[in-house]
Each structure stands twice: as structure tokens, then as C-alpha cells.
Structure 1
């Protein structure tokens, strides 16, 4: 059996955790949010900037109907995934970054802001045991 400290590599409040899950809501983004190419680049840049090893290329697709049309994207990383869904009509993005390797929350926010200039960004971080 693998020792807990070998399996749970992220330290938070003095305790080992398996993963870090950042949930970001970015409202009122710029028109880059409508570009499949820009969203693809965003996933690649996010993985690289938070020092993750990408596993294959991102998958990015627009779908839905009416007010629900948006883009979903995922970049698999060796330690889990970076994924999002957007809403075209309101220019909103809902982003999740989950990894069993630690990363800087501020870097996630910085990449998000540099690509989409949202009017507001809120982030929550969960530490998964």
C-alpha cells in the first residue's frame, strides 16, 4: 500500500490533500470568449503557465441552443484536467482547474484576465482529500 504522504502531495493547513480544485466564475468577458481558436490557446497557455504536463491537445466545441449556446473545452493534464463552459450571449466563463499537483491560484486568475478581461472574477478553492 502507498503511504498517504506519497499519495496526497498537496499540503493545506498542515494536512495532506489529494488535489486542489479551483472554481472560477468570470462574468462579462471580452469578445475573445467567442473565438474557438482563442479558447484553445487559453487552455494550452493555462496548462503551461501553471506548470502542468498537457496530455494531448485540448478539445473545444460550441454547442447548445438559444440563450444556452456556448463553448465547452477541456485540456487533460497528467494530474487531472482544466475545463470550462461559456455562455455566448452574456460573455461568461465557468472554469475548473483540478490537479493533484499544486499550482498558484493567482496564475490562474492572471491568465484568465489576460485572455478575456472579465468585468468580474470570483474564485473558490477546494482541497480534496
Structure 2
């Protein structure tokens, strides 16, 4: 038995949202009358220089918000911290008028963990591919969740 959560409430018809296009995901979002759309993007083997560059991370935030048509509220926050080497790296937040973009970049593993939440729909696949390309990741795991 599959113990994975039903990310789109569609498991009666299919086992994964990967089979859906961005347009189909957005259509389901609208049909359900969902309150929000959440996407987590885990990137592995990112370009070490990019994830360690605060200016590049700020540029990423601006370009991502433009790509998914989200209006930024204020400037992004990008801070380097971590209590030990395992978790040390930059973290970022960007308020958007419809919620939040956040993420953490792990120096030790060259990984990125990004979260995009908005009550306005966007294309999670297009967004995920942009993230993967921007940070030069070799692999990506993405999860989509409707908030009702």
C-alpha cells in the first residue's frame, strides 16, 4: 500500500501529480476552490558558487517572482547562518502579496530546499525547472500540495 500523502486529492484517478501539466494542476486548483498552492523543491548537487552567493540568491528571488507572476512585498532577506557545518548556508525569505517564498542552501551537501506558497495559482513544474536550472542542480524532487 502506498503511504504517501495524496498531494492533489487525485489518487483515485492517478498515483502521482507528475502525470499532470501545469495547466491541469492549475485547473484542479481552481475547480477545488483551494485556498493556496504549495510547492517544495529539493535540489541536489547544486553549483557551489551560486548557492554561496547572496547576490545570486537575491537575483534568483526576483527572477522567480517575475516568472510565476508574483508581486514581491519589500526586499528579500538573505542571511548566512547555521549552528554547525551540516546545516550552514544561506537562508532566504521573500514576502509576496499572496504569501511567501523561502529557502535554505546547505553548503556541506550543495543542496537547496525551496518552498513556494501562494493563494494565487502558478505553474509548479515551470517554477521547479527554473529553480533547477538557476542553481545548476543535477536532480530535483518536487511536491505539490493544495491548501483548502
By the TM > 0.5 criterion, same fold? yes
Q: How does 1:39-54 map to 2 (within 5 A)?
A: 39-54=57-72
Match of 2:73 in 1: 55
Tell me, in whole angstroms, the C-alpha distance in 2 between the residues paired with 1:18 and 1:11. 12
The answer (yes or no) to whether the contact 1:84–1:95 under 8 Å persists in 2 is yes
Query: Counterpart in 2 of 1:3?
Result: none
Preserved contact between residue 29 and residue 121 of structure 2 (Cα < 8 Å) = no
- Paired positions, count: 121
Task: Give distance in 2, aligned partners of 1:83 and 1:117.
Answer: 18
1:116 aligns with 2:135: yes
Secondary structure of the residue aligned to 1:111 is helix
SS of the equivalent of 2:46 reads coil
C-alpha distance in 2, partners of 1:92/1:57? 24
**Is the 1:80–1:99 Cα contact (8 Å) retained in structure 2?**
yes
Distance across 2 between alignment mates of 1:79 and 1:13: 16
Length-normalised TM-score, structure 2:
0.77
Q: Which residue of 2 aligns with 1:21?
A: 38
* 3-state secondary structure, aligned to 1:108: helix
Distance 2:118 2:105 in 1: 21
- Unaligned 5+ segments in structure 2 are 1-26
Kept in 1: contact 2:46–2:111 (CA 8 A): yes
Distance 1:46 1:13, change over 3 A: closer
**Post-superposition shift, 1:11?**
4.5
